[in-house]
Amino acid sequence: MNRRELMKLGLAGGVALAASGGATELLAFKDGGSSGSGGQIVSGGNKLPDSMSAPSPKTTPWAVEMPRMKVAVPKAMGPDGYTALTGAAITPQNCLSPDDCVQRSVKQQYNSFYPIKWYEMTESEGPHVWHPDLPTQPVWGYDGDFPGPLFISRYDEPELLRIHNQLPTTNSSLGFGIPSTTTHSHNLHIASESDGFPGDYVNVGQLHDHHIAMCYPGFTTPVGEDRRESLGTTWYHDHRQDFTAQNTYAGLVGMRTCYDYLDTGDETTGLRLPSGDFDVPIVLADKAFDAKTGLLYFNLFNFDGMLGDKLTANGMIQPKMTVEARRYRFRFLVAGPSRFFQLHLSDNSAMCRIANDGNIFPYPVFQQQIMLGVAERADVIIDFAKYGAGKSLYLYNTAEQVNGRGPTGNILNPGDPMIRFDIVPAKAHDYSVMPTATTQMRPMPAVNLSEVVAQRSFKLERSNGGWAINGRAYDENVISAHVKRNTAELWTLTNSSGSWSHPMHIHFEEFQILSRNGVAPPPWERCRKDVAVVHPNETVQFFMRFRDWTGRYPMHCHNTVHEDHAMMIRWELEA
Amino acid sequence: MTDVNRRKLLTVCALAPFGLAIASKFGFGAEGGNTKTSDVKPVAFETAKGSAASRRFPNVEVINHEGKKLRFYDDLIKDKMVMINFFYAKCDKFCPIQTANLVKVQKLLGDRVGRDIFMYSLTLKPEEDSPEALNHYVMMNDIKPGWQLLTGRPGDMEELRVKLGFRDSDPEIDKDKSNHIGLVLFGNDKLNRWTGCPAASSPQEIVREVLWLDEAIPSSGD
How do residues B16-38 score in pLDDT, each as one tens digit? 333 333 333 333 333 333 333 33
Give yes or no for a contact between A327 and A434, defined as CB atoms under 8 angstroms apart: yes
CB B44 within 8 A of CB A137: yes
State residue A100's pLDDT score: 59
Per-residue model confidence (pLDDT) at position A304: 93
Q: Which residues pair with A227 in a beta bridge?
A: none
A17 and A366 Cβ atoms separated by less than 8 Å: yes
In this model, does residue B145 exceed pLDDT 80? yes
Burial classification of residue A573, based on how many CB atoms lie within 10 Å of its CB (0-12 exposed, 13-18 middle, 19 or more buried):
buried
- Spell A237-268 as b/e; 16+ CB within 10 A means b: bbbbbbbbbbbbbbbbbbbbbbbbebbbbbbe
Name A416's bridge partners. A397
> pTM to 2 decimals?
0.89
Q: What is the DSSP letter of B65?
A: T
- pLDDT in the model for residue A36: 39
Kindly report the backbone phi and psi dihedral angles of residue A356, in degrees, each rounded to the nearest multiple of 5, phi listed first.
Answer: -125, 135
- Of A73, A136, A293, which is closest to B22 when you measure between CB atoms? A136
Q: Model confidence over A321-375: pLDDT tens digits?
A: 999 999 999 999 999 999 999 999 999 999 999 999 999 999 999 999 999 999 9
Nearest-neighbour CA in chain A from B10: distance (Å) = 9
**Closest C-alpha to B195, from A157, A27, A172, A367:** A172
H helix or E strand, kind and range, residue A152: strand A151-154
For residue A482, with 0-12 CB atoms within 10 Å meaning exposed, 13-18 middle and 19 or more buried, which class applies? exposed
Cα separation, A525 vs B140, in Å, equals 56
Q: Pairing between strand A117-128 and A159-165? A: parallel
Enter the DSSP assignment of B77.
Answer: I
Cβ contacts below 8 Å, chain A against chain B, sum to: 194
Cα torsion A398, A400, A403, A404: sign: negative
Residue B134 C-alpha, separation from nearest chain A C-alpha, in angstroms: 22
The sign one gets for the Cα dihedral B200, A561, A166, B213 is negative
pLDDT higher than threshold 60 for residue B14: no
Asked if A466's CB is within 8 angstroms of B198's CB, the reply is yes
Residues in chain B within 8 Å Cβ distance of A242: 195-197, 209, 212
For residue A231, give the H/E element and its range. none
- Using CA atoms, how far residue B31 sits from A53, B19, B35, in Å, is 40, 12, 7
**ipTM exceeding the 0.85 mark:** yes
How high is the pLDDT of residue B55? 63
Q: How many CB atoms lie within 10 A of CB B176?
A: 11
Cβ atoms of A342 and A399 within 8 Å: the answer is yes
Of B4, B23, B44, the CB nearest to A265: B4
Q: What is the mean pLDDT of residues B77-85?
A: 97
Predicted confidence (pLDDT) per residue in B159-174, tens digit: 999 999 999 888 888 9
- What is the reported pLDDT for B222? 57
* Test mutation, A75, A99, A145, A178, chain B, max B CBs within 10 A: A178
**How far is B141 from B105, CA to CA, in rounded Å?**
13
Counts of helices then strands in chain B (DSSP H, E):
7, 7
pLDDT mean by block of 10 residues, chain A; 575 residues:
38 35 30 50 94 96 98 74 49 50 68 86 97 97 98 95 91 87 96 92 89 95 96 98 97 98 98 98 98 95 96 98 98 98 97 98 97 98 97 98 95 97 98 97 97 98 87 93 98 91 98 97 97 97 97 97 96 96
Instruction: Taking residues B87-108, report their average pLDDT.
Output: 92
In angstroms, what separates the C-alpha of A265 from chain B's closest C-alpha?
Answer: 7
Name the residue of chain A whose CA is nearest to B174's CA: A465
β-strand partners of B30: none
C-alpha B79: how far from its chain's center? 12
Q: Structural domains in chain A? A: 34-59+272-424 (2.60.40.420), 98-259 (2.60.40.420), 449-574 (2.60.40.420)
Tell me, what amino acid is at B166? Answer: F
Identify all chain A residues contacting B87, using CB atoms and an 8 Å cutoff.
none
Q: Which of A53, A125, A175 sits opposite B49 (nearest CB)?
A: A175
For residue A392, the model assigns a pLDDT of: 97
Other Cβ atoms less than 10 A from the Cβ of A86: the count is: 11
Q: How far is A249 from chain B (nearest CA, A)?
A: 14
Q: Tell how strand A207-212 and strand A159-165 pair up.
A: antiparallel
CA dist B37 → A204, A254, A445 (Å): 11, 19, 47
Q: Report the amino acid identity of residue A407.
A: P
Burial label, B127 (beta-carbon count in 10 A; 0-12, 13-18, 19+): exposed
Separation between Cα atoms, residue A251 and residue A335, nearest integer Å: 10
Asked if B198's CB is within 8 angstroms of A53's CB, the reply is: no
Give the whole-angstrom CA distance, residue B217 versus residue B211.
Answer: 7
Give residue B47's pLDDT.
39
Q: What integer best gives the mean pLDDT of chain B?
A: 80
Maximum Cα–Cα distance across chain B = 76
Contact A176 B187 (CB under 8 A): no
- Spacing of C-alpha A235 from chain mean position: 6
CA dist A374 and A335 (Å) reads 6
In A290-325, beta strands by DSSP E: 296-297, 310-313, 316-317, 320-324
Nearest CA-CA partner of B184 in B216, B147, B217: B147
Report the pLDDT value the prediction gives residue B221, as an integer from 0 to 100.
Answer: 65
Ordered by where they begin, the domains of chain B are: 3-39 (no CATH), 45-213 (3.40.30.10)
**C-alpha span between A167 and A176 (Å, rounded):** 13
Type of residue at A389: A
Phi, psi dihedrals of residue A103, rounded to the nearest 5°? -55, -50
Chain B closest-CA separation from residue A527 CA (Å): 27
Which pLDDT does position A173 carry in this prediction?
Answer: 81
